[in-house]
Amino acid sequence: MASYVYTATGSVAASANIATDKIRIATTSSPIHYTTSFPNVALTGTVTCATNSDVVTGSSTAFTTQLTVGSWIGNTSGNTVGIVASIANNESLTLTANAAVAISGATARYNPYGVPYTVATANSAIIPSNTVERDVLVGQGNIVSYLNVSGATAAPFSITELGMPHANTGTTGF
């Protein structure tokens, strides 16, 4: 069981990649907003796509090794470009629909597990100050994104992984 201490501020931050399916979150003197999501990381190379087409072309990309059918692709701001329907080769793939956002020869982000999102008060849960939330289901491989509750002073809180880590992952910095 690994445990990590973080401090929530007014900017969204993320925990490490969680190696277990459940965590415990314990706050100290301040409440926090939190949500869990799958990580998104930079695709190798650059991509080009247009909103009038479902084709994404790459340059020096590794679509066949980094992506699978169902992978999420987004721009560097985290906006969804689309979901992969098929992969022709390392530099060409097809989305399930036309690209929602155009990219022109720039870096893109991907997530093989689902659509990542950041913390906003509309899609997060609040853990009050001096509270222990036991058995928060997060799903192995996810991250916990957090920020402080508006008007609250930043204070440390902890995330503890519960159970045994999965063999194919470990907690890594994110």
Please report, for the domain that includes residue 21, its CATH number: 2.60.120
Indicate whether 102 and 136 sit together in one domain.
no
pLDDT at 108: 93
If pLDDT is split at 50, 70 and 90, which confidence band does 118 have? low
116 has pLDDT over 60: no
173 has pLDDT over 50: no
Please report where in the chains the tokens 């721009």 appear, as a residue.
75
Burial of residue 5 (number of CB atoms within 10 Å: 0-12, 13-18, 19+): exposed
Q: Is residue 16 part of a domain?
A: yes
Structural domain ending residue among the three candidates 111, 135, 152 = 111
CA distances from 73 to 94, 106, 110 (A): 11, 13, 4
Indicate whether 63 and 13 sit together in one domain.
no
Q: Is residue 167 part of a domain?
A: no
Would you say 6 and 146 are in contact if contact means Cβ atoms under 8 Å apart?
yes
What confidence tens digit (pLDDT) does each residue in 12-49 have?
Answer: 787 766 777 788 999 999 999 888 776 677 899 999 99
Indicate whether 32 and 77 sit together in one domain.
no
Please report where in the chains the tokens 């920020």 appear, as a residue.
147
Indicate whether 69 and 96 sit together in one domain.
yes
More confident residue, 138 or 7: 7
pTM above 0.85, yes or no: no
